Amino acid sequence: MKVVIANPPWPGEGYGARSNTRWPHRRGDKKLVFPIYLAYTVALLKKNGFQARGIDAVWKEWDIEKFVDEVKKTNPDIILMETSTPSIEFDMKTARKLREALPGMMIVICGPHVTYFHREVMDDNGFIDVIIRGEFEFAFSDLCMALKNKRPLSSVSGITYRDGSKVKVNADRPLHGNLDDLPYPDREDFPIERYQQAFYCGKKTALLLSSRGCPFQCTYCLWPSTLTHRKYRIRDPKKVVDEIQYLIREEGIDEVFFDDDEFIVSRKKVTDFCDEMIARGVNIRWHCMGRVDIVDRELLSLMKKAGCYQIFYGFESGSEKILRHVKKGITKEQTKRAVKLTKEAGIVCGGSFILGTPEEDWGTFRETTRFAASIGADWVQFALCAPFPGTPMYEEVKNEGLLEASSWSDFDGTKGPIIRTKHLTRKELTGIVRKAYIAYYTSPNVIFTNIRSIRSWSQARRVLRGVKSVLSRIFYYSK
């Protein structure tokens, strides 16, 4: 039984960052994220005896016709395609073309958008056979096994499927509790070297997961509401270190990035991992994402000793009013303290800010840009608020009449604001990200901080990559 698992084409200007991306968008540079969930799925299918092929059509820069031709060469029994809100119109066009080219193939799609709109997508697109809701690796494997063993689709939890002229919705699939049941992600069809992001310092950085899920309540965050959910699940820290040693030995990696929703949630998980790295003498740099209200001097010191060189925090706003509104659960003082402690530990400190949330006004915008320049982080990024379907913020802006997108493609980050706030019109918000970047990176304090942070060629490479990425964002997201 032959299976294709794909990040399908996303035609148009720039590059479509869809797979393993919490904010699916177009970007001007080809700095794509390693599609680890697709890679896990390929590995799981291969482990279970299927002829599985992974395809990243975005990285290959294939158009829909080329992608369909390549799938025809494989002639699979079933295909799984990852979809997203801003690419959904192209995703449906691709699925329609696949149905025409391979009428006997089962077409399965997954992703947050179709998880939220599973009934509507099935009703409106008769060429879709199955939608997997939420996490998809084990569900898709179960689906393939059901087909292979001629079990009814009603036996597969977590799917919405077509049964003749009817659409049926099976019970939700319980989250898989033991993440160590997954084999290592497939890195043959998805080679590591393709996916080197701008903030990496290494020449060959591997993206890993040590946990899934986020227990916090941020209203804008897509995955906890639709994909990984709010139950925090961890891998055995010893097995995470096993994988790192495997990648050093077999792939020659020189750096690790943990793309967990939140790496620093369980103090015990972090300390167990660090202790294991130190005990084994694993000498490799790694970085992760964390929350400013969890870290302390002792934990940061241990992380540094174990090889951590960079932490990416969700700062989100310099306005206490905005932080409360989006239910971030942090304060500005906690942010300043976390930045200070992180840098004192000798760890590079970066973070993100979201602009244009429903309570934004010019006062909160100025608070954010001034705060960003004052905290002393090594780098920050700014993003325009995108209330994706499935998030509490989407329900808020829809119910309050703030959503002004004319199509799903408007969510791709290049069309400018897609909502108005309670205080600013869409026109007034136009260019807000560019203004924030210019205000931040022309600040003398920021310029001095970046120059002072360069103490090695790898750190210089990080700064240069960052400058290039920022310039790309300033000009690409001109709206």
What angle do the packed helices 457-476 and 444-453 form, to 10 degrees?
140
Task: State the chain's maximal CA–CA distance in angstroms.
Answer: 67
Residues 325 and 393: beta-carbon distance below 8 Å: no
Quick one: the chain helix, strand, coil %, rounded to 5?
Answer: 45, 15, 40
Residues 254 and 203: beta-carbon distance below 8 Å: yes
Q: What are the beta bridge partners of residue 25?
A: 17
- Beta strands (DSSP E) in 57-204 are 78-82, 106-110, 130-132, 159-163, 166-169
Q: Over the stretch 392-410, which tens digit does the pLDDT of each residue have?
A: 999 999 999 999 999 999 9
Average pLDDT of 177-199? 95
Q: Over the stretch 416-426, which tens digit does the pLDDT of each residue have?
A: 999 999 999 99
CATH 3.40.50.280 occupies which residues in the chain? 2-169
Query: Minimum mean pLDDT among 196-210, 352-366, 397-411, 450-464: which range?
Result: 450-464
For 309, the 3-state DSSP assignment is strand
> Cα(372)–Cα(359) distance, rounded to whole angstroms?
18
Q: Is the pLDDT of residue 472 over 80?
A: no
pLDDT of residue 446: 75
CATH 3.80.30.20 occupies which residues in the chain? 196-476
pLDDT of residue 470: 61
Average pLDDT of 160-184? 96
Q: How many CB atoms lie within 10 A of CB 246?
A: 13
For residue 310, what pLDDT band results from cuts at 50, 70 and 90? very high
Q: What are the beta bridge partners of residue 285?
A: 255
Across 202-236, b (16+ Cβ under 10 Å) vs e yields beebbbbbbbbbbebebbbbbbbbbbbbeebebbb
pLDDT of residue 219: 97
What angle do the packed helices 432-441 and 444-453 form, to 10 degrees?
60
Q: Is the pLDDT of residue 475 over 80?
A: no
Task: Please provide residue 103's backbone torsions phi and psi, each rounded to the nearest 5 degrees.
Answer: -65, -25
Q: Is the pLDDT of residue 444 over 90?
A: no
Q: Over the stretch 227-272, which tens digit does the pLDDT of each residue have?
A: 998 999 999 999 999 999 999 999 999 999 999 999 999 999 999 9
Q: Is the pLDDT of residue 449 over 90?
A: no
- H-run or E-run covering 308: strand 308-316
For residue 198, what pLDDT band results from cuts at 50, 70 and 90? confident
CA distances from 239 to 42, 183, 232, 254, 403 (A): 20, 11, 17, 19, 44
The length of the chain in residues reads 479
End-to-end CA distance of the chain: 47
Q: Is the pLDDT of residue 464 over 80?
A: no
In single-letter form, the type of residue at position 453 comes to: S
> Cα(404)–Cα(410) distance, rounded to whole angstroms?
9
Residue with the two structure tokens 């084990």: 138
- Give the CATH number of domain 2-169: 3.40.50.280
Q: Which CATH number fits domain 196-476: 3.90.1150.10, 3.80.30.20, 3.40.50.720, 3.40.50.300?
A: 3.80.30.20
Residue 209 is encoded by which pair of tokens? 């997961």
> Cα(236)–Cα(464) distance, rounded to whole angstroms?
36
CA distances from 343 to 264, 316, 338, 350, 377 (A): 17, 19, 8, 10, 8
